[in-house]
Structures are given as C-alpha cells and as structure tokens.
C-alpha cells in the first residue's frame, strides 16, 4: 500500500537555514492561508482552514517553564479533556475505579517530582513529546503510528490494529488504549474501542488555522503562561525566542529522540 | 540400525474422540472469552494503560518460542546428523507448527481490532520487529510443512538436509525476532538489552523440548508404544543442558543490569521487593522451574524414572510461564523512570500515581483465551498424529541404538 | 466491491429513493423519510445533487471518503467536499425537537442502504454520528453571530473558546446517542 508513503520523513535539522528559507519563500507564494510570520492567530475570529498539504517548513513544539507551572493547577488537563472529548469517556458499569483510572485515555497529566537530594518540588505537565525519532513510530507494525510532516506524532486510527506495541515503546507513557465502547464522540476528535491514541497537539485547531493548543491557551488564560506553543523551525518566532531565553532540556535526553516538547527547570 | 516404522496414533476411538471433545470445549470457551473481550472492550481484562500486555501475551510468547524449540529435536537429527534423534523428527515438526498456530491465535485475538488483521497483512512498516515477525511466523509454518514433507516422502529425502538447515536458521531468526520485540524497546529499563534475544533462543530450546518430552511420553503411553531408557536418558540430559543454559542467561541478564546504577531500581524491584513478581521469579522461574527439574534430571535414581522426567518437564513448562510473567508483566508494572535523581510524587490525575507499581491481576477471560490457544496446539497435534504417520512405532533401545541391536544380536 | 447488476427489486428500491430525494429536494422535508435525507437550511438543501452526481455518489462515496481520510490524516486538509463530517451535517435527520438523530441509526441515511446491501459500516466506530460542528459547509459559511452560547445540551460545563472553537465545542444530545446505542 502506498498510502503511508505520503508522509515525507524529512530531517528537520536546523543546520540548513538557507534551504529552509528558500522553501519557505517558495511555499509562501503558493499557499493561500499564509499570514505574516510572527502574527499570533488565536486573536483572529475565523482563521482559514488549510488547503495545502502540511510540510516540514514548520515543526510544532512547546516550551514548558516548570517555574511557572503552579502546584495544584490543572487548567491544561481540563482544557485538553474538554477539547478532545476525553471527559466524555464513560466509566463502564462494574469496573473498579482504581482500574478505570489506569484504563481511561489520558493525553496530558500533571506530574509532581521531588529532587532526591534537595527536596525541591517541581510541577510539570507531561504529554506526548512529539519526538523527531519517535520509538512508537518505529515499532508500529502497520505504520498507523506516524509522524506528520510538521512534526506531530499521531495515530492513523484507520490502520491501527490495537496491538499496543507503541505503548510498550513509548518512554513517556503518553499513549492510551481505548478499553471501552465509546458512545459520545466529537466531530473534531474521533474515538473508538480498540485503538491507541495520544496527544496530537490539537491538530484540528492547527489544520483550521489556529496556532495554539488547548492546554497552552488554558495555561495563558489562568495567568501562569507556563506553556508556550509554536514553530520550532521559525528562528525568530516566539517559541525559539523563549527557548533562547531560558535553559531547557528534554525528558529522557539520553535517548536522543529530539523531542518537540522542551522543559525549563528540570 | 533398523528401519523406523511410523504408524498413526491408534488409541481406542472412544478415548480419542472424548479427548478431542474435551479440547474442543476448551477451545470453544477460549473463543467465547475472546468474543467477550472484543465485545465489551479490554476494560473487562486486567490490562490497563500501564500494563498493556497481559496474560494472553504470556501464553502467546511462551507458545511461540516453544514452537521453535520443539523443532530443535528434528534439527538435531537432520542438521547435526544424530541418527538417534531421526525417529523423533516428524513429531517435532508437527508440534512446532501446532504450537506456533496456537500462540499466534492468542496474539491475534487479543488485538484491539482483530477485524483489521487484513491491514496487518497488507500494510507493513519494516522498521517494526512486529512486521518482520509476521513474515517470520507465517514463513515458519511454510518451512516446517516443507520440512515435514522431506521427512515423510521418499522423494523428499534428498532435500531433508538442506531444508532442515534452512528451517534451523529460520527458527533461530524467529526466536531472535521474538526476543527482540522486547530487546529493542529502548525506553524501558527492563528490556533495553541485546541479551534478551539469545536468552529467548535458549529458553525456546528448554521449553520446546519440555513440551516435546511430555507429548511424546503421553502419546506413546496411551498407545502402548515403548520409549526406551536410552532415549529418555538422551532427552532428559539435553533438557538439563538447556535448563542450565537458561539459568546462565538469567544470571547474565540480571548481572548486566545490577552493575549499572541506572537499572538497579528495577532490579531491586524484580529480585527483592516486587511482591508477586519477586515470588514468581525466585520460586517459579528459578527454584521450581529450573533447580528442582535439574535435581530430578541429574539425580542418579530419579533420573532413570520416567515419571520424574515427566515431572521435571512439567516444572520446566511452569517455570517458563513464570519467566514470561516476570519478564512481560513485572517489567511493565514497574513505573517508567523519566526523571533520574528525582522521586515522582504525583503522576497524573486521572491516571496512576507515580513511583507506585501498576496493579495487574489476570482476569478470567484473559486466562481462558490463553488456555484456548494451548488447546488449539494440542488439537492440531492430536489430529495430526491420528491421521498421519508421525509417531514411530517404537522407541525401544534396540530400535534407536544400533549398538544395542548389535549386542542383542550377538547375545542370541 | 459490492456492486451488482440491478435486479428488478433494486430498481424499485432505487426508484423509491430517487423519488424521496426529489421530494426532499422540493422542500417537503421530513425526518422519518427512509434513506434520502437532507438537513433543511444546509448547503446541500440548496443544491440539486450531492457533491457529485447522485448515481456517482451512490457507487463511489466510499472511495471519495477513503481518499479524503488520508488527505485529512496525513496532509491536514480537512475541509474538502468529500469530508465525512460534511455527509453527517447534511444528511443526519432531526427529530421534532430539532435534535439530530445518529446517521447510522436504524432507517437513517447511512444505515438504510448499508443494511440492505449488508455492507458493514465502520466509519462510526470512531466518528461522530451527529453534526457537532466543524463540517465543511458550516466552516465555509460561518454564522454571523459571535455571542451565541454553545449548545445547551452539554452535560458538562463549556470552557471559553475563541470564535472558531465555539463551533467545535458543540456536543450532541447525549440521551439521544445513548438511546441509539441501546437499540
């Protein structure tokens, strides 16, 4: 089947600015929905939906400043659950609550860690890290787990057979298997029994021209502003500016997965 | 050496059919369990987002590696030219194919979307070990069938050796591939080691041979065919060697990981503080699954007693299942370590609590599905030996060993 | 493929459906009409035919949808004329209270034919069966109002969303969906 060849597995290394700039200019001439760089779109009332295939000109990513992430705040989790219909999951009748906690789909979770030596507490949201070299994509037998050209790691539910090998491979416990029959579904977030899913950086918003995820937006609205979402490839975009400001690192840096989600202060 | 005569399994019809009926009922129950899981979803099982592979995978992986191990007996005869093992070849091939089919069936029926099996057969991602295994597994059945033909048909005799060598290499690849399903998981401390692949190969030798010995002894006993003391001695010594091999690899596996500070936490969990997993490791895998069988096998008196050898084989099988339980479930139950030098205080609400072992308890449907897969393997074997000439008429000493026959001839 | 030569029975069935489609197109819309149904006021209601000629839709809709699905999943292009949510928003019937009826429900647009032809309908294992916003015709022609509240039937508090999101945040009537599941 050639369906899955549609995803160009292009390197998104930052060492080729000249070529990238050229490509970007060329694409800007073609694309109809391109707006001036740096303009934040979430203020626009109706953004234009995408009409051309995604490219590797952009690579979506995040910077999470753990210093700003508040203890006890779950705004990002709630926003994600609402945006992606996760709060519509019904607890099956007769399931033990403790087991169900482990069985329901969770895309983003609040994590609190304590330094073993100093006792310093750190809060952070943890979701799919959208690796450049995702282990879940490597192990998927059917290619249903894939990386989109713009760096989003997601699951093609149409070809997922529910083997759960990607969940074994993920170092971040980011993926969830749908253990139950799903009755309530949103158009923007399809969901069905027997497939695996995880954070897709609110891909429906991006495809509709919005450039912010539900979690980042909620974090900004709650006044913490710990999550900055943006284009990792735009050298002067807000994300790259923020990444220059603070010292950040990847979780499980030792695996060299080049994650799209970076953390400051861990 | 005498010509080996193969005969169909000739136990009484009533016994044969009631045996088949029992197996059919077990298979039906397993099938119903799979339907139940499929209809309601996996929430009815003990599996969660933390322990994503459960009891079905214990049975499936065990059967699949045993399948390649069962073929070993035939390989010793044809590839390594041990005439002594030649009469055992046909049953070895049949058992290998049957165990593999049983294991695969479990694996497939546990999928979230088994109805999409055709997707798995038509779209491949070749960086996935799983995708390779689909070829290795289906190819294995084809190779074994060809191998059986060369052993059974006079026209095939010239091809026995080349096909046998090919089958032997294929089975090595298959077990390596199965071990690599786990060995290539870089993100998990328990799995990220190359030693898993050879360890699975040696495990397959031991478990496959243990199953082979039990099937051989049972089918011969039921049909009043003799298994000579010489044959039993050879087989049990071989089993002892393989079980020792498993112990050696287990030692290496744990030593490697005890040495580095990074993996000491999970080692402490498996070896000391892991509750059921620690018990399963020491009592199931090491003591009952390895040391007690070795005691029986090498004991001067018990080692000659067929019952003790059968018991040792059964214990090796039990130990194999315990090993799979520790390797598959125990390694998943231990939380992923993402923040070195830090303790996870909270890990998601909803979701699990960090730093705490994920609870898992096998549910009945999972277990029944696993048993159903075993029954499928036994059914294929039973029907096979009944309708075709798989079993040699006798494995008495004078049949299998030319020296004994010669000595008897002189004595006469 | 499930196509077969048209038997007399089929001809009658197709004739009836066509007649119903004509009726629907003429504005005499009724929710209980089996099969052919177009939401009044939707983009489809103003057209003579679906996104392609009716006979072509009948034969090839699955090909169109399958092609669209890859375009959406891999290329991020959601709002073309073959979008599945477009099917749902124009063809899902509504009951007397104006609540949408799941499109795969018994006798509804998708189910009526699929059941007759005995072809499994997999789309709605995962996809929404009632229009919950984000359909192509609604996005292309966004409603003028910006202050409207999200659908009142939510069984959960609606979070504040920007204008486009308001459209996305609508949730179908849960009781309706659950009732359908029991059927």
Residues of C in contact with A157 (CB under 8 A): 126
Predicted local confidence at residue C179, as pLDDT? 45
Q: Do the beta carbons of residue B49 and residue A103 sit within 8 Å? A: yes
Question: Quick check: A187 and C174 CB within 8 A?
Answer: no
Cβ of B339 within 8 Å of Cβ of A176? The answer is no
* pLDDT of B139 above 50: yes
In angstroms, rounded to a whole number, what is the distance separating the alpha carbons of residues C64 and C71?
Answer: 11
What region does A126 belong to: left with phi over 0, alpha with psi -120 to 50, or beta? beta
Interface probe, candidates A111, A170, A174, chain B, greatest B C-beta count within 10 A:
A111
Using DSSP bridges, classify how beta strands A121-126 and A261-264 pair: parallel, antiparallel or unpaired.
unpaired
Contact yes or no for C135/C85 (Cβ under 8 A): yes
Q: Which of A250-259, B105-114, C127-136 is predicted with the least confidence, judged by mean pLDDT?
A: C127-136
- Tens place of pLDDT for every residue, chain C, 183 residues? 344 444 555 556 555 655 555 444 443 344 444 445 677 766 677 777 888 888 888 889 999 999 999 999 999 998 788 888 888 888 888 888 878 888 888 888 888 889 889 998 989 999 998 886 544 333 333 333 333 333 333 344 444 433 333 333 333 344 444 444 443
Confidence of residue A46 (pLDDT cuts 50, 70, 90): low
CA–CA distance, B252 with B394 (Å, rounded to integer): 41
The rounded distance, in Å, linking the Cα atoms of B269 and B257 is 12
Q: What is the rounded distance in angstroms from the CA atom of residue A100 to the CA atom of residue A95?
A: 6
Rg (CA), chain C: 17
Phi-psi region of C72 (alpha: psi -120 to 50; beta: other; left: phi over 0): alpha
Q: Is B52 on the interface with A (CB under 8 A)?
A: yes
Q: Who among C76, C88, C168 is closest to A50 (CB)?
A: C76
Neighbours of chain C (3+ CB pairs under 8 A): A
- What is the tens place of the pLDDT at every residue in A119-133? 999 999 999 999 999
Ranges B33-47, B115-129, C144-158: which has the least confidence? C144-158
Picking from A46, A87, A187, the nearest residue to C85 by CB comes out as A187
Q: Which residues of A touch C158 (CB under 8 A)?
A: 82
B304-338: pLDDT as tens digits: 999 999 999 999 999 999 999 999 999 999 988 89
User: In the predicted model, is pLDDT for residue B372 greater than 50?
Assistant: yes
What is the spatial distance between Cα B323 and Cα B210, in angstroms, rounded to a whole number? 15
d(CA B278, CA B285): 10
CA distance C2 to chain A (A): 20
Residue of chain B nearest A81, judged by CA positions: B350
The ipTM (two decimal places) reads: 0.91
The answer to whether the CB of C87 falls within 8 A of the CB of C103 is: yes
Number of H helices, E strands in chain B: 17, 3
Inter-residue contact A81 to A87 (CB < 8 Å): yes
**CATH code assigned to A56-264:** 3.30.70.20
Interface touch C70/A3, C-beta < 8 Å:
yes
Chain B residue nearest residue A110, CA to CA = B348
Q: Is the Cβ of C141 closer than 8 Å to some Cβ of chain A? A: no
| Predicted confidence band of residue B364 (pLDDT cuts 50, 70, 90) | very high
Ordered by start, the domain boundaries in chain B are 6-403
Q: Is B265 on the interface with A (CB under 8 A)?
A: no
Which pLDDT score is estimated for A47? 66
Domain ranges of chain C: 8-132
pLDDT of residue B253: 94
Number of residue pairs across A and B with CB atoms under 8 Å? Answer: 195
DSSP string, B97-148: HHHHHHHHHHHHHTSS-GGGHHHHHH---TT-HHHHHHHHHHHHHHHHHHHH
Asked if residue A20 has pLDDT above 70, the reply is no
Nearest to B111 among A114, A161, A266 (CB): A161
Q: CB contact, 8 Å: A162 with chain B?
A: yes
pLDDT at position C135 is: 40
| A113 touching B (Cβ < 8 Å) | yes
Residue A30 has pLDDT above 80, yes or no: no
Question: Alpha-carbon distance A262 to A62, whole Å?
Answer: 6
Q: Does B224 touch chain A (CB under 8 A)?
A: no
B contact residues 105-144, partner A, Cβ 8 Å cutoff: 111-114, 116-117, 119-120, 122-125, 127-131, 134
pLDDT value of position C153: 36
Q: Residues B137, B104: contact at Cβ < 8 Å?
A: yes
Residues 189-208 of A with CB under 8 A from B: 193-196
Q: How far is A200 from chain B (nearest CA, A)?
A: 18
Give the predicted TM-score (pTM) of the model.
0.84
pLDDT tens digits, B279-298 = 999 999 999 999 999 999 99
The answer to whether C65 faces chain A, any CB pair under 8 Å, is no
Which residue did the predictor score with more confidence, B366 or C113?
Answer: B366
pLDDT tens, position by position, B250-271:
999 999 889 888 888 899 999 9
Measuring CA to CA, which residue among C66, C82, C156, B116 is closest to residue A196? B116
- Put simply, whether A88 touches C (Cβ < 8 Å) is yes
Q: Which residues of A touch B346 (CB under 8 A)?
A: 110-112
Q: Which chain A residues touch B117 with a CB distance below 8 Å? A: 161
Mean pLDDT computed over B90-106 = 96
β-bridge mates for residue A113, sequence order: A122, B344
User: For B6-403, which CATH superfamily applies?
Assistant: Formate dehydrogenase/DMSO reductase domain (1.20.1630.10)
Distance in angstroms (rounded) separating the CA atoms of residues B317 and B58: 12
Indicate which of A180, A187, A189 best probes the interface with C, i.e. most C CBs within 10 Å of its own CB. A187
Mean pLDDT of chain B: 92
**In chain A, where are the structural domains located?**
56-264
Window 55-84 of A, Cβ < 8 Å to B: 74, 77
Contact A171/B at CB under 8 A: yes
A231/A212 Cα distance (integer angstroms)? 10
């Amino acid at each position: 089947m050639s369906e899955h060849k549609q995803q160009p597995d292009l390197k998104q290394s930052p060492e080729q600015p000249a070529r990238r700039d050229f490509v970007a200019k060329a694409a800007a001439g073609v694309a109809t929905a391109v707006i001036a760089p740096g303009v934040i779109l979430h203020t626009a009332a109706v953004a234009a939906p995408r009409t051309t295939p995604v490219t590797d000109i952009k690579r979506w990513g995040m910077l999470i400043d753990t210093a700003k992430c508040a203890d006890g705040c779950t705004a990002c989790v709630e926003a994600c659950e609402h945006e992606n219909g996760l709060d519509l999951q019904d607890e099956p009748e007769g399931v033990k609550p403790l087991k169900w906690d482990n069985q329901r789909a969770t895309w983003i979770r609040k994590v609190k860690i304590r330094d073993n030596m100093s006792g310093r507490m750190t809060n952070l949201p943890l979701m799919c890290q959208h690796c450049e070299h995702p282990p879940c994509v490597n192990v998927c037998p059917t290619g249903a787990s894939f990386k989109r050209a713009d760096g989003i790691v997601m699951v093609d539910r149409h070809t997922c057979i529910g083997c759960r090998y990607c969940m074994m491979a993920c170092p971040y416990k980011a993926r969830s298997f749908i253990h139950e029959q799903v009755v309530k579904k949103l158009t923007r977030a399809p969901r069905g029994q027997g497939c695996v899913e995880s954070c897709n950086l609110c891909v429906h918003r991006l495809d509709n021209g919005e450039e912010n995820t539900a979690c980042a937006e909620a974090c900004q609205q709650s006044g913490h502003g710990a999550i900055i979402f943006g284009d990792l490839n735009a050298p002067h975009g807000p994300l790259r500016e923020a990444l220059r400001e603070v010292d950040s690192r990847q979780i499980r840096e030792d695996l060299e997965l080049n994650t799209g989600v970076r953390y400051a202060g861990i | 050496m005498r010509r080996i005569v193969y005969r169909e399994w000739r136990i009484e019809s009533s016994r044969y059919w009631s045996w088949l009926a029992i197996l059919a009922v077990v298979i039906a129950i397993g099938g119903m369990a799979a339907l139940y899981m499929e209809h309601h979803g996996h929430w009815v099982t003990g599996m969660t987002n933390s322990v994503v592979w459960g009891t079905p995978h214990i049975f499936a992986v065990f059967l699949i590696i045993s399948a390649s191990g069962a073929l070993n007996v035939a390989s010793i005869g044809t590839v390594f030219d041990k005439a002594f093992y030649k009469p055992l070849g046909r049953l070895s091939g049949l058992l290998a194919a049957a165990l593999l089919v049983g294991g695969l069936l479990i694996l497939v029926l546990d999928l979230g979307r088994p109805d999409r099996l055709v997707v798995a057969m038509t779209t491949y991602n070749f960086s996935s070990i799983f995708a390779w295994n689909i070829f290795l597994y289906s190819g294995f059945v084809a190779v074994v069938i060809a191998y059986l033909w060369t052993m059974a048909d006079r026209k095939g005799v010239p091809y026995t050796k080349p096909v046998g060598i090919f089958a032997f290499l294929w089975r090595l690849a298959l077990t390596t591939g199965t071990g690599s399903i786990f060995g290539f998981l870089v993100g998990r401390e328990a799995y990220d080691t190359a030693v898993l692949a050879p360890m699975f190969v040696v495990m397959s030798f031991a478990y496959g041979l243990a199953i082979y010995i039990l099937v051989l002894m049972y089918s011969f006993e039921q049909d009043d065919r003799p298994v000579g003391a010489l044959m039993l001695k050879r087989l049990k010594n071989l089993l002892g060697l393989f079980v020792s091999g498993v112990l050696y690899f287990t030692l290496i596996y744990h030593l490697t990981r005890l040495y580095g500070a990074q993996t000491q936490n999970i080692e402490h969990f498996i070896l000391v503080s892991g509750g059921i997993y620690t018990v399963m490791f020491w009592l199931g895998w090491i003591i009952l699954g390895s040391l007690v069988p070795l005691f029986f096998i090498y004991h001067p008196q018990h080692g000659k007693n067929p019952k003790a050898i059968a018991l040792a084989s059964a214990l090796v099988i039990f130990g194999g299942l315990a090993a799979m339980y520790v390797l598959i479930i125990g390694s998943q139950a231990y939380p992923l370590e993402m923040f070195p030098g830090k303790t996870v205080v909270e890990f998601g609400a909803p979701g699990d609590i960090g730093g705490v072992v994920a609870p898992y308890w096998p549910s009945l449907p999972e277990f029944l599905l696993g048993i159903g897969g075993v029954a499928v393997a036994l059914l294929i074997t039973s029907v096979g030996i009944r309708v075709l000439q798989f079993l040699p008429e006798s494995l008495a000493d004078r049949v299998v060993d030319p020296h004994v026959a010669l000595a008897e001839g002189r004595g006469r | 493929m499930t196509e077969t030569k048209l038997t007399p029975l089929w001809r009658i069935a197709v004739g009836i459906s066509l007649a119903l489609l004509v009726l629907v197109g003429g504005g005499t819309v009724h929710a209980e009409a089996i099969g052919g149904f177009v939401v009044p006021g939707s983009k489809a209601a103003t057209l003579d035919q679906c996104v392609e000629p009716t006979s072509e839709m009948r034969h090839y809709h699955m090909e169109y949808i399958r092609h669209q699905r890859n375009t959406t999943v891999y290329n991020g292009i959601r709002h073309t004329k073959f979008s599945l949510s477009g099917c749902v928003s124009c063809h899902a019937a509504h009951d007397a209270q104006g609540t949408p009826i799941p499109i795969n429900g018994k006798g509804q647009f998708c189910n009526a034919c699929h059941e007759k032809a005995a072809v499994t309908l997999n789309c709605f294992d995962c996809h929404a069966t009632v229009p919950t916003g984000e359909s192509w015709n609604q996005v292309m022609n966004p409603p003028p109002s910006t202050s409207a509240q999200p659908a009142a039937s939510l069984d959960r508090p609606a979070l504040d969303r920007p204008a486009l999101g308001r459209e996305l945040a609508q949730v179908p009537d849960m009781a309706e969906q659950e009732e359908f599941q029991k059927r």
